Each structure stands twice: as C-alpha cells, then as structure tokens.
Structure 1
Amino acid sequence: MSFLSENEIEDWACEILQECGYAVTTGPDISPGGAHPERTSLSDVILTARLRTAIERLNPHLSQAARDEALLALRREDTPDVVDENRRLHGYLVDGVPVDVVREDGTQSGDRARLVDFDHPERNDFLAVRQFVVEKDEANRRPDLALFVNGLPLGVIELKSPSSETATLDSAWNQFQTYRAFIPSLFRFNEVLVISDGT
C-alpha cells in the first residue's frame, strides 16, 4: 500500500479548495520579488490591495475617509494578546468595522464597514496560498496553506503525510503552537485551523 506524500496531500487539498471557489497561488509568487507580489514585506499577513478592493466594493455608501479608517483599524494591533485581538477582529468580520461618518449637514455619526458579503458569498475574493512564509524578527515560518477571504487570512491548514511516523496529527497541532508563538500576526484574524494527514 502506498501513501500520499505531504506534497500530494497539498495538491489534493488545493483541488478541493478550487472546487469550492478558491483561486490558488504560491507564497513565493505573491511575496516581494515574486512574479505577482501582493506583499511589501514577509511580515505582512494582510493582502492589502485585495482588502482595500473588497472594502470599496462592499461599502459604496461610505466616504473614502471612512473606508481608509476601516483599513487602518484592521492593520492596527490593539493588544499583544492573540486571543483578545482575534475576538476584536472576529467582531469586525461579523458586524463590520466601526467608522465615523460625516453627514451632508456636517454632523457626525457612526456606521460600519462590511468586510465580507455574507448574503452573496460568491462575490467575495477567495485565495489559497501554498507555502505562505511569514517573518517576524529573525524567525520565519511557512504554513502549508493560508486561506484568504477578501485579503484577510482567515484559515491555516497544516498537512502531514500518513507514511511518516513522526508526521502525526499531534505534530501538526504542535506546529500550530509554534506558529502562534513565532508568527502571532497570522492568527489575529484566524477563524479556522485545519490539520490533516490525508486520511
């Protein structure tokens, strides 16, 4: 009996994601110096151009200043605690980012900038990135797959080969703990973690 390699499992996962509407690319391709760079630095975990486009598309009623305010709120880290930061950003994802709006009569009020089109999911931008390198300080880590919705990294998938005795689901879970310790910025927006050995 032959087992799938980790790379074959990754290929299979990408095929499934494509069937679900995800475009698939590689980390090196969208990194600085890549064929289609979408990041100015390996420390960037938000695909800013995609996010900016989504905010503009989903919030035509908001001024450019309000849309810029929403983008800044997403890029800013309010707390060093990953769990607290994840809760804050989950609220933004579900309810929208609170922004100030100046009305035509000069009064100010609050509004919310939507980040995801929940009513029409097909109108969102879905991207799976293979081997997405994230760098912080002198350390860098490379999850097998990072899943982006409208430029936000909402999912991380770690795959292991069932033919390797050391590449267990437990080791994949421990890998997430290492990622969380060394590249916590990737987990600020996280909504789902997946580990699989293909079986």
Structure 2
Amino acid sequence: MEPSVERILTWFEVLGYTVLLQSDIVSGRHQAILRSYCNGILSDRFCQAMQRINPDVSPQEIENLLYELTANRSIPIMQQNRQWHLQLLDGIKINSSGTDRSKPITLQLLDFSNLLNNDWLAIYSFPVIEGDYQHCLDLVVFINGLPLAVFHGVHTGEKSWSLRAACLQLQEYQAHLPKFFSFNELLVLSNGTQSRIGTLTSQWKQFIPIRSVNGEDIPFSGHGEIETLIGGIFDKRRFFEIMQHFLVFRQSRTKLTKKLRSHSFCTINIPKSKNFTSLTCDAGRICHFSKHH
C-alpha cells in the first residue's frame, strides 16, 4: 500500500471512523458488507443505524424505506441528488403501518445532535457495479450505510497524476454509476500531494484546496494537503456543519448545479497572508479556503 494511502486511512481512524480495505469486504471477515450492498446503500448498516436513530420506527418500515431508496428510477442524477440532500437534512416522511398512528412520521437519516449514534465508515478500494459498468472507487465514506463522499486519485501517490485528469475520470464514473453518485455530498481529488474538494457538478477550477483544519493555523503544521483536508472537512461535527450550511443548489434555465460555498452564513476576514480567506459561520469557524480569481 502506498504511504500516502496509509496516511489517509490513519487520519480517518484518528477521527473515529471504521476503516476497511477491499480485501476485508471481498474475502475477509467483513464480506457481509459487500453482500449487503444494493444500489448505492450498505443495507445492513443502514437498517441498523436507522433503528438506532429512530427507535419508534419498526424494522419493517425501515425495510420498506430501503426498498424505495434503492429502487431504480429514471430521474436525472442532480434532481435525485437535490432531493436526497434535503432528506438527509430534514428526514423522510413515512406512512406508519401501526394502528396507533394516524399521521405520517419523519424518519431521520442522520443524527446531527448525537454523533455517536451514526455509523462512520471509510472503505479503501470499493467496487461498484451498475448496469454494464464496474468501477473500483479509491475511497468511499459511508455514513449510516450511505455513500456521502468519494476520494479519487489517492491510489497513485504520484505527483505526475493530474488532478484535472482525476476530475475528468470522476465525471465519467458519474455517468456510468448514476445511482451510486446520486447520494453523494462531496468529492475529493488527490494524488497524495495535492488535494481539492468539490461537488458532483464542480468543474476542475471549482475544486478548492483546504488550507487549515481549524481556521487559524496556516498551514496545518507538519502535514500535507490531504491530511489538512481530511482533518478540516471530515471531522464528524464539521462534516455535518458543511452539509447543513455550505452546500447549495442553483437552478438555471438549462441545468441544476451544486456548489460548495466558501462564505455562506459567514463573515469574511482577510488575515495577514493575502492568499487565504478566513471563514466564520454561525456554526463556528470552519476552515480556510484558497481565494479564487
């Protein structure tokens, strides 16, 4: 395994994620994870997390919801992604089968108040089959069995691996695996040295580097861009804050886009170094984004 990959996986372990390799889920003791995969969702982990977060919802109701979420639908990927993003934030209304309930109830997909109630999992080299296509994604971050973030390019660890090329390849993967990527919140490009973060509709120049973990240290001393990005974005509390306050959809006449905003709900402070913009939002200071022109 490349040293850069080991560093990435170690950082996720430090942040409290369960970290697995492809060998663990293909031939190791975690084969049930891959067997439970269905149209983008790790069904076993999803059902367990939903029961933990929503103890008043019956297992059958959760199974019914899982069936609906994994059903094949002819809806454009970005429309699905916007609907999914709102459901992640607000929950999903379901009709209860119980005789003592006369109104729909809201099932919460994520527990924003109790981080430990959620299932945090990072799988390195995750195989995805959809239709006639099969791709092995470098690193997938699952929360409650849902694939909310994808890393691409980390397998090479070579500076010669162009992040622009990684971006183009990810766009190809999106076209081949629309169901899987319809759940996605964030995309990360990295070659082990350079790292950028964006969304499903981000063009190459819209992917941005993260320069600080806590919004004050410039740079994050002793670590490279990928470690700083992981520490600054994938801290559990911070990841949820970014989902809630920094992702926005915009509808034009021709297309729907999703943007990672660098100053939504923020006051902007320019520190002594003019290369960075300090961001402080209502949920607390998040991180430093490079300024773009």
TM-score class, shorter-chain normalisation, is 0.7 to 0.9
Partner residue in 1 for 2:138:
144
Residues 127, 41 of structure 1: CA spacing in aligned structure 2 closer, same or farther, 3 A cutoff?
Answer: closer
How many positions carry a matched residue from both structures? 191
Partner residue in 2 for 1:110:
104
Which aligned runs of 4 or more in structure 1 are off by greater than 4 angstroms? 41-44, 102-105
The AA in structure 2 aligned to 1:57 is: R
Superposed CA RMSD: 2.3
SS, match of residue 75 in structure 2? coil
Question: Distance in 1 between the 2:163 and 2:78 partners?
Answer: 23
What's the TM-score, normalizing by structure 2?
Answer: 0.59
Question: Distance in 2 between the 1:29 and 1:45 partners?
Answer: 19
Which of 45, 54, 78 aligns to 1:50? It is: 45
Partner residue in 1 for 2:89:
94
Gaps of 5+ in 1: 1-5
Is residue 185 from structure 1 mapped to residue 166 from structure 2 by the alignment?
no
SS, match of residue 13 in structure 1? helix
Tell whether the 8 Å contact from 1:42 to 1:133 is kept in structure 2 after alignment: no
Question: Distance in 1 between the 2:38 and 2:118 partners?
Answer: 24
The AA in structure 1 aligned to 2:131 is: D
What percent of counterpart residues are identical? 31
SS, match of residue 80 in structure 1? coil
The AA in structure 1 aligned to 2:116 is: E
SS, match of residue 137 in structure 2? coil
Residues 102, 14 of structure 1: CA spacing in aligned structure 2 closer, same or farther, 3 A cutoff?
Answer: same
The AA in structure 2 aligned to 1:181 is: A
Tell whether the 8 Å contact from 1:27 to 1:129 is kept in structure 2 after alignment: yes
Partner residue in 2 for 1:3:
none
Is residue 198 from structure 1 mapped to residue 192 from structure 2 by the alignment?
yes
Residues 42, 74 of structure 1: CA spacing in aligned structure 2 closer, same or farther, 3 A cutoff?
Answer: closer
Tell which has more relative contact order, 1 or 2 (C-alpha 8 A, sep 6+): 1
Partner residue in 2 for 1:126:
120
Residues 95, 177 of structure 1: CA spacing in aligned structure 2 closer, same or farther, 3 A cutoff?
Answer: same
Q: Aligned-pair distance for 1:147?
A: 0.4
Q: Aligned-pair distance for 1:98?
A: 1.4
The AA in structure 1 aligned to 2:173 is: Y
Tell whether the 8 Å contact from 2:96 to 2:105 is kept in structure 1 after alignment: yes
Q: Aligned-pair distance for 1:86?
A: 1.0
Residues 10, 19 of structure 1: CA spacing in aligned structure 2 closer, same or farther, 3 A cutoff?
Answer: same
Residues 162, 35 of structure 1: CA spacing in aligned structure 2 closer, same or farther, 3 A cutoff?
Answer: closer
Q: Aligned-pair distance for 1:140?
A: 1.2
Which of 176, 181, 192 aligns to 2:170? It is: 176
SS, match of residue 90 in structure 1? helix
SS, match of residue 109 in structure 1? coil
Residue deviations 1:142-179 (CA, integer Å, cap 9, x gap): 111000001111100013556443x1110111121111
Residues 129, 162 of structure 1: CA spacing in aligned structure 2 closer, same or farther, 3 A cutoff?
Answer: closer
What's the TM-score, normalizing by structure 1?
Answer: 0.85
Partner residue in 2 for 1:30:
25
Residues 76, 138 of structure 1: CA spacing in aligned structure 2 closer, same or farther, 3 A cutoff?
Answer: closer
